[in-house]
């Protein structure tokens, strides 16, 4: 089926330029370089398609701005792409942004131009919380809030922070990010890359108390130690815990060191002055509630309170309801119970699991179509899992290529010609470097010196990115 021979490149399109897509491209490029002399193919040409004008996906638009450690991941991803951009002849990986696959170009059109297409679109929607009242005004998806405070170009510029008592439902890192941003004093975010419109919204916030609810107990939290420690270091915020939630919890009996560290951290918080009834002068409070399963969001025209059932551990390791119900006068709810994948037009999709159905990265019943990252396995795991996913998927893609199972492209014209005909304003790697430099300059000139100030509007990002990369040669050429 394939036309691969020593002088013909393996042509691959990767849809999504977050960590999953970038790792897949880098692993593929390195694998071809390492095995070129003994393989059917000796070179590879990879086009990395991204719906946003800028790369990095959830690393840019899904991580709280006060996480400096994430810079290391960004630097690593940057190096993977920048290494391909030394000159036009060496661009094994070509970044093509501001392109919505399924709208600007179809999966079928990509398959006609590439030997293989890899879907790496991630999971950006909120998972459903199926309880009564979840659609009331004042009930928000955590993913939407994260997109707002990270300056995603496709969400509204304002957020209604008009409630004093707010709830965050969930016991994972996203729940902690949301709770920390809601509780944190705005002046402690000024040194970060938080967009100016977000900083203005947080400065006007009415929030005084943030309540984080988990269905399980302290020994079952899904945080990481660094996330939990950061929570306890938020200036001007009291951390409130309930001794009753810690009955029978012994850090020494935790099954791993990570959980032991977190349980020790939680236990230490029980001895903080605010939990001994002493005044600290803090203007905001962050309450951690365990053994609370949400059963209803109550209200008429908007959220008025939230009803929970107290839970307890069951013999099989799960939790069960106790029949005891409690209500909290909370008027805004943030649902942080996980992410969920979105379908890609004309690609198979499992609507129950929110993934592209696949076997080890090979999409079911579709030769030449692959998946990696959260759209492959579901929204679980960290960066290490993403690398493992990409390694597995790319190994199977290369195996199929060597076996001659991939169909040869039937269209030889550059996909950029098709996009130009459709007047799609494509952004490039050089364009991202231009936007990156612009944002850093905004940060340096800011009243409070910052590493960068994000440009939020899509049209402004595109204009800056395309200011020096509009020709079909040079930046857009291979």
pLDDT at 360: 95
Give the per-residue pLDDT at 4: 56
Where in the sequence of the chain do the CATH 3.50.50.60 domains occur?
A: 125-339
Nearest to 169 by CA among 249, 89, 274, 287: 287
**CATH 3.40.50.720 placement within the chain:** 10-124+341-476
* pLDDT in the model for residue 471: 42
Q: What DSSP state is assigned to residue 172?
A: B
Inter-residue contact 340 to 128 (CB < 8 Å): yes
Q: What is the reported pLDDT for 37?
A: 61
Question: In the 8-state DSSP scheme, what is residue 127?
Answer: P
Q: What's the pLDDT at 253?
A: 84
Q: Could you state, in chain order, the average pLDDT of each consecutive group of 10 residues for the chain (478 residues)?
A: 65 96 93 72 90 93 81 81 56 90 97 97 92 97 95 94 97 91 92 90 96 94 84 92 89 88 92 92 95 97 97 88 96 95 93 95 95 92 82 96 93 95 96 94 82 92 84 40
Beta-bridge mates of residue 287: 211, 240
Helix axes 196-203, 142-149, angle to 10 degrees: 120
The CATH code of the domain at 10-124+341-476 is: 3.40.50.720
Q: Are 92 and 41 in contact (CB under 8 A)?
A: no
Rg (CA), the chain: 24
Taking the CB of residue 421, how many other CB atoms lie within 10 A of it? Answer: 8
- For residues 97 and 426, the answer to whether their CB atoms sit within 8 Å is yes
Using an 8 Å Cβ cutoff, are 191 and 185 in contact? no
pLDDT at residue 475 in the model: 40
Superfamily of domain 125-339: FAD/NAD(P)-binding domain (3.50.50.60)
pLDDT at residue 371 in the model: 97
- Can you give the length of the chain in residues? 478
């Amino acid at each position: 089926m394939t036309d691969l021979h020593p002088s013909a490149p393996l042509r691959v399109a990767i849809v999504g330029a977050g960590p999953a897509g970038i790792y897949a491209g880098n692993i593929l490029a390195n694998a071809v370089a390492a095995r070129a002399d003994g393989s059917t193919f000796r070179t590879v040409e990879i086009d990395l398609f991204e719906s946003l004008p800028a790369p990095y996906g959830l690393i840019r638009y899904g991580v709280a701005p006060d996480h400096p450690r994430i810079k290391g991941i960004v630097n690593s991803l940057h190096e993977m792409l920048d290494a391909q951009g030394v000159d036009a002849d060496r661009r094994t990986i070509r970044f093509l942004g501001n392109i919505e696959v399924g709208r600007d170009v179809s999966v079928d059109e990509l398959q006609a131009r590439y030997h293989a297409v890899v879907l790496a679109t991630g999971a950006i929607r909120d998972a459903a919380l199926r309880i009564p009242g979840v659609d009331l005004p004042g009930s928000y998806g955590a993913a939407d809030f994260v997109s707002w405070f990270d300056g995603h170009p496709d969400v509204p510029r304002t957020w209604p922070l008009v409630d004093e008592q707010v709830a965050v439902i969930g016991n994972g890192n996203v729940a902690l990010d949301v709770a920390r941003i809601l509780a944190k004093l705005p002046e402690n975010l000024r040194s970060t890359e938080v967009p100016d419109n977000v900083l203005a919204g947080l400065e006007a916030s009415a929030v005084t108390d943030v309540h984080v609810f988990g269905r399980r107990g302290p020994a079952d939290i899904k945080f990481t130690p660094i996330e939990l420690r950061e929570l306890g270091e938020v200036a001007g915020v009291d951390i409130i815990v309930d001794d009753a939630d810690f009955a029978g919890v012994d850090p020494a009996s935790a099954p791993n060191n990570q959980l032991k560290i977190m349980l020790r951290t939680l236990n230490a918080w029980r001895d903080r002055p605010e939990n001994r009834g002493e005044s600290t002068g803090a203007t905001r409070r962050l309450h951690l509630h365990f053994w609370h399963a949400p059963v209803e969001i109550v209200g008429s025209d908007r959220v008025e309170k939230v009803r929970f059932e107290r839970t307890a551990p069951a013999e099989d390791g799960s939790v069960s309801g106790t029949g005891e119900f409690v209500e909290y006068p909370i008027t805004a709810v943030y649902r942080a119970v996980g992410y969920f994948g979105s379908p890609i037009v004309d690609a198979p999709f499992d609507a129950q699991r929110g993934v592209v159905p696949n076997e080890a990265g090979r999409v079911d019943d579709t030769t030449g179509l692959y998946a990696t990252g959260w759209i492959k396995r579901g929204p679980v795991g960290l960066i290490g899992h993403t690398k493992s996913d990409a390694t597995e998927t790319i190994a199977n893609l290369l195996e199929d290529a060597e076996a001659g199972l991939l169909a040869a492209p039937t269209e030889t014209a550059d996909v950029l010609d098709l996009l130009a005909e459709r007047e799609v304003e494509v952004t490039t790697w050089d364009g991202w470097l231009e936007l990156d430099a612009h944002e850093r300059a905004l940060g340096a000139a800011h009243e409070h010196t910052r590493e960068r100030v994000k440009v939020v509007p899509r049209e402004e990002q595109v204009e800056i990115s395309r200011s020096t990369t509009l020709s079909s040669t040079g930046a857009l050429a291979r």
